[in-house]
Chain A
Amino acid sequence: METSIWRALFYLVGIMAFAGLNAAYLGWCERKGAARIQRRIGPCEAGYAGLWQPLADGLKLLSKQLLVPQGVDGIIFRVAPVLAMIPAITSMVVIPFSDNIGARAMELSVLLLFALASIGMIAILLGGWASGNKYAIISAARSVSQNLAYEIPMLITVITVVMISGSMNLREIALDQQGGFWHWNIFRLENGHFLTMWISFIIFFICSVAETNRAPFDMAEAESELVAGFMTEYGSMGFGLFMMGEYLNIVVGACLTATLFLGGWDCPFGLTPGVWWFLIKIYILIFTFIWIRWTYPRTQIYRLLNLSWKILIPFSLVNLLITAALIKVF
């Protein structure tokens, strides 16, 4: 790949625009989606179908003072929201949007994504800790134990994908699945992988819901228990950045799921593969996230941890063994 300054600039602007647009408009989508599920209308005043609502919210948040409570660790308190946002945007560098759209196709890009995802967890921990609020600290502690518990089965299932594709490069993994839905990792007809890969997909999807702190696993910001969790003391854009970081994490999670399991930019019927298929896939996945959130009540922290340690991790380990055996046999 040629490395001209224009290419770098193009991707910098492109990724920032994509991230910004998603961060703003997923909030709108969520509100509209929730409204439809709840038989309401949702935002409708600002512009057609409330389309200016994210802009209005953003302006409102920007115009407010970032209130730093007395006695908190000011630097960490201010840094935490930024830290929640940056890794999510950075992750998009390695995501292959289509055959020829993708900023960097580096080896070990899967590993990089997980490393960056962990920084998001540190942001929550720092934000909660720096707030000096008991609810925020409980939330931060919950968030850490939750993320630890769910990164393990998630990584184990990713290993199955990596074993099949023989690469840790997301682009290579996507290229490996081209040519119709029967080549996608989730269905994968050859070599008997259809036996295990859908289990991997389900485990991966559950984990990505838990990783992004979304309901029914939104232990960290359980509003009826912990007020607003780690965000309790945050107002104005500090809160805004946390929210945007949350939505961007969802986008990254959906991109990762689409690339690892759903063939990336591949068309299900082998026609015109391209970036639009990738976008369709990620937005279907994001809608599923929203759908789940507004349908189910929240679970309990120990049930959440039990689910991970007692069900998901054993299942993913067995799944890994079977996949390895299948690769050996065929």
Chain B
Amino acid sequence: MTVPIHLRHDETFVLNLGPQHPATHGVLRVKLTMDGEYIVKAEPVLGYIHRMHEKMAECGTFAQFMPNTARMDYLHALAFNHGWALVVEKAAGIEVPERAEYIRVITVELNRIASHLLWWAAFLLDLGGFTPLLYAFDDREKIIDLLERVTGSRLTYCYMRFGGVYNDIDEEFITGTRDFIKRLRGRMPRLYHDLVTHNIILIKRIKDIGIISAEQCRRYGATGPVARGSGINYDIRKNEPYSVYPEFDFDVPVFDEGDSMARYMVRMHEMEQSMRIIEQALDKLPDGPVMGKSPKVLKPEAGYYYSAVETARGSLGHRLVCDGGKNPYKLKLRSPTFSNLSLYGEVAEGMLLADALAFMGSLDLVIPEIDR
């Protein structure tokens, strides 16, 4: 709710929200100029977890950068793996076998569900509901176990390879995934929607709060659920298809309201769509190798390469410059959360502190990905 009040710019105080604050999920610092509980000005301050990942890419070989990608967006690490693999494959002209493409899609979508579940949990925690966190973690745990089985790690995956994936999936993973989808579909209406989505307190807290217009989204380059919650039908998986996404039948949920509730609903629907994609992929899963032919030492031709993937938070672009050597000459990432966060200052102005934090939660920020 936007409260029509006259903000006083002369009698304000500065409230440092973060870098260590329970609601900023990491080391984001927001310098808030406050008039009582109203925010006059909000300035996000970045850089507390900057690790120079892009520079690190230049210092190592192409393959050496793969583990780094998972350390940026640790919640949807496989999409970052995928993005890096895609751009290098594009540069070096490496073919990926059909089965590997399917496995990539299955694991990335599973990871997307895990990421949305964690967002949901953390968002409810921001709103003061602790119990949903543990319900969501219960479900997320199943995904993590499944992914651990094929990738070998639980959070920061290094699963994709140039030309395929590291490990084939087995029968147990397939039945486990099907069981998980059945389980989540069974729990979704009761635990997630009846208990939380339809809760009057939650609806009053997030409906009409933090309204982002489509124009603002375009101006700041916001993507992902933030843009789709503002009525922009843009999903890289549909608009600039990569991998084997064109072969699946899925919808892109779009809501026009632009408030926190719309972003909430987009993510809830996306989980369902991801489950649809996984089911189709498991049904169609072809046989064959999971690794294609790829040279021992990668030396892509000199030139500029760009590819984009859709992560749980929006579109992730890799711009890779090669000079013909075995290291990348330059890598620039276009990470989704950085653009999504840029909106924050403009939209949070005039909000109450509690609403501003609910709004921040609805943006689904992952700070290490902003700072890189």
Chain A residues close to B by CB (< 8 Å): 34, 37-40, 134-135, 138, 142, 215-216, 218, 222-225, 227, 294-303
B 87-139 contacts with A by CB, 8 A = 124-131, 134-135, 138
A142 to B201, CA, bound (A): 19
Number of cross-chain contacts by CB at 8 Å: 76
Residues of B within 8 A of A135 (CB): 15
Residues of A within 8 A of B22 (CB): 223-224, 227
A–B complex contacts, Cβ < 8 Å, 18 sampled:
A38-B134, A39-B135, A40-B134, A135-B15, A138-B37, A218-B128, A222-B128, A224-B22, A227-B22, A294-B130, A295-B131, A297-B127, A297-B129, A297-B196, A297-B201, A298-B127, A301-B352, A303-B204
Q: Which of B56-64, B242-250, B318-326, B353-361 contacts A (4 or more CB under 8 A)?
A: B353-361
Residues of B within 8 A of A296 (CB): 129, 199, 201
Chain B residues close to A by CB (< 8 Å): 1, 3, 13, 15, 21-23, 37, 124-131, 134-135, 138, 195-196, 199, 201-202, 204-205, 352-355, 357
B205–A300 touching, CB < 8 Å: yes
Known contacts A224-B23, A299-B201; decide if A294 and B131 are in contact (CB<8 Å): yes
A159 to B199, CA, bound (A): 33
Residue of A nearest to B137 (CB): A38
Q: How far is the CB of B105 from chain A (nearest CB, A)?
A: 32
Residues of B within 8 A of A34 (CB): 130-131
Residues of A within 8 A of B130 (CB): 34, 38, 294
Residue of A nearest to B353 (CB): A225
Q: How far is the CB of B9 from chain A (nearest CB, A)?
A: 18
Residues of A within 8 A of B135 (CB): 38-39
A224–B125 touching, CB < 8 Å: yes
The majority secondary structure among interface residues of chain A is loop
Residues of A within 8 A of B13 (CB): 134
A26 to B128, CA, bound (A): 21
Residues of B within 8 A of A299 (CB): 201, 204-205
Contacting B129 at CB < 8 Å: which of A134, A142, A298, A301? A298
Most chain B CB neighbours (cut-off 10 Å) among A34, A223, A298: A298
A297–B205 touching, CB < 8 Å: yes
Contacting B3 at CB < 8 Å: which of A142, A297, A302? A302
B199–A297 touching, CB < 8 Å: yes
Contacting A301 at CB < 8 Å: which of B15, B195, B196, B354? B354
Q: How far is the CB of B103 from chain A (nearest CB, A)?
A: 32
Q: How far is the CB of B363 from chain A (nearest CB, A)?
A: 15
Residues of A within 8 A of B37 (CB): 138, 142, 301
Residue of A nearest to B356 (CB): A225
Q: How far is the CB of B140 from chain A (nearest CB, A)?
A: 14
Residue of B nearest to A298 (CB): B128
Known contacts A38-B134, A297-B127, A302-B3; decide if A227 and B205 are in contact (CB<8 Å): no
